[in-house]
Every structure is written in C-alpha cells, then in structure tokens.
Amino acid sequence: MTQFAKLVDEKFTAAKEKKALFSIDAIQTEKESGGIKFEITCAPALAKKPTNEDKSQEKVNPFLNPNPDLVVKELDEHLILLNKFAIIPNHLLLVTKEQKSQKEPLFPNDLYETYKILQEFGSPLLAFYNCGENSGASQAHKHIQLVPLNGNNGVQPPIKKLYDQIHDRRVGQIYAMDKLPFVHVIMQLDTNIIRAATKREDLTDYLSQMFFGLLDAMFQQLRENAQPMNASYNFLMTEEFMMLIPREKEKVAISHDNKDYEFSLNSLAFAGMLLCKSEEQLEAMKAQDDLMDILVQVAIKWNPDAQRLDAERQLGLEAHLA
C-alpha cells in the first residue's frame, strides 16, 4: 500500500467512526450484455440521501468549507475529499477550491491532479467526470470522482473488456468500439511519455493535448450524427485510457411487472457499473433483455450514415493535402 493510499484509508476509517461519512451497505450482481459484464449495485439507503431537488438543500454547497474530517489533502487549486455517501470505500472527490461550474470542461490542472491521484494510489482507480446538466451530475460545483476498482481477473472497469478488443491499438489514436451502439470516443494513453514527464508542466501539457484532442473528436462525431454541439458528456479515465460519451438525456425509464422505474445515469453507467436504490429497481434492471438499450436511451445513437460521412471527409482531407 502506498503512502497516499494509507492516508486515504486512515482518513476513511476515522471519518466513518466519527459519522462524518456513511459507508453504505450494498448488494452486487452481474449481467452480461453487449459483450461486457455489467456490475449492478443495489443500495437502498441511497433513497434516503438528500438531493438537489430538496428545497432545504438548494443553497447548500458541500464542497465549500467542507467538513475537515472529509479532507484527505489540500492542493494548490483543489481539495481531495472523501465522498460523504460511500458505497465503495475510499471513494474520492477532487474538488476545485473556488466554486466553478460542473458545465465546464476539465482544465489542464484538473487533469494533472486527477492523474497524479491515479498514479499515487498504487492500486487501480477509475476517474470520472459528469459534465453538463444531462450528464448525471449530482452537484453543480466542479468535481471529479475517483473510485477504487476491485473486479475479478483484472478486467476493470467492465468497459475495458471491449477496449482490449480493439485490434492493432496504437497510443494517441482515437477509436470507437464496434459493439457500443452510441456515439463515443476512446484513446490509449502513452505510458512511456507519462513516465518520462518528470516536470509537472510536461505531464500537464500531454494530458491536456490528449483530452482536448478527444473532445474535438467527440464534437466531430456529433457533427456527423447531426447533433447539437452543446451536449453534456461523461468522461472516464484510468492510467491507461481516456473516454468521452456525449449525452442527450440524464434519466432513463424502464418497465417491469407493470411498473415504471426511472434511473439517473452518470459516467459509471458507461463504464459498465449501474446503480439501483431498491430491490424492485434491481429486479427491473436484471429483467432487461439488453442493458445497452438503457445506455442508448440517454446517449446518442449512431447515425447509420456516419461511417460513410467520415470516410468521405477523410478522402476530402487527403485530396486537399495532396
């Protein structure tokens, strides 16, 4: 265990004992869909958690002057906090000290501090960012979340199974995965460049170039699929890759046994990790024929002509450069 991971673990245990955070019991199950094994977590206690829709909570920002028992570390522009409502132990939040909007993209220092946490934790983490009103963000104050990954056989997060199937994958190249029926872009990071980045600015510059290149590619996909450019999106990052998924809606509705259930989906859903707040919701989720259909409802379905349009664009670019 690294020194940073030990600090996080000690802070989590102490905060739990002081009741500064709530370690929420949950049950987990798995369901195979679309080539990946989705992890479905059921945590009924979350149904009692206050939300931004509660009028009494409208003016409360938990990230300004947070409970000191939840502060793991103070950085120049950020705080590393423990998640007050933790389904996964040692769930971390990287929060801007100043109040900034969750509708903003990640900036260079956000990316740098996030990646340093991934490196220093010592065991696999998944970082994610819910950007915009349709992304599933629970707070308006800018924050990146990081959760420990404890899956079987080292295939984590679940989406990594499809990522590993990309043939002849090259660092820096932007891909879309055939088995995902919605618009997305994914990129392998160059660990050699990252290891060689001994200065903060070198790592910051590299991560920024990769992120904004990926963001440009996502907007290109939206143009080719005749979608608006102001879409919300979800962002996933491990030490190995970055992924972006534009969003059209925050919530999905599914039916089971003549009842309708509504779910708010955030970035974790696109990593293959779904959350339910009751056993009824869990049964409804398990009863779905294909969980990919749930993701398609809130993401942006591929335009069947998008591949042809992209090929024509590439030919036009090559002719222009010739």
What distance, in Å, lies between the first and last C-alpha atoms of the chain? 54
**Nearest CA-CA partner of 98 in 124, 125, 117, 79:** 79
Does 253 fall in a domain?
Answer: yes
Q: Residue 153: what pLDDT?
A: 47
Classify residue 54: in a domain, yes or no: no
Q: Is the pTM of this model over 0.85?
A: yes
Q: Does any domain span residue 52?
A: no
Asked if residue 315 belongs to a domain, the reply is yes
Tell me whether residue 53 is in a domain.
no
Can you give the pLDDT at residue 321? 53
Nearest to 129 by CA among 154, 156, 158, 100: 100
Q: How far apart are CA 173 and CA 298, in angstroms?
A: 26
Within 10 A of 53 (CB to CB), how many other CB atoms are there? 7
Q: Report the domain count for the chain.
A: 1
113 near 94, Cβ under 8 Å?
yes
**272 in any annotated domain:** yes
pLDDT in tens, 31-55: 999 889 999 999 998 877 665 545 4
Catalytic residues: 143
- Helices 108-121 and 3-17 cross at an angle (nearest 10°) of 90
pLDDT tens-digit profile of 220-237?
Answer: 888 887 766 667 999 999
Nearest CA among 204, 81, 99, 98 for reference residue 145: 81
The range of the structural domain enclosing residue 79 comes to 3-45+62-320
pLDDT in tens, 159-173: 999 999 998 899 989
Residue ranges, the chain, pLDDT below 70: 49-59, 151-155, 227-230, 306-322
The CATH number for 166's domain is 3.30.428.70
Residue 72 covered by a domain: yes
Task: Please indicate, yes or no, if residue 55 is contained in any of the structural domains.
Answer: no
Q: Could you tell me if 123 and 158 are in contact, meaning their C-beta atoms sit under 8 angstroms apart?
A: no
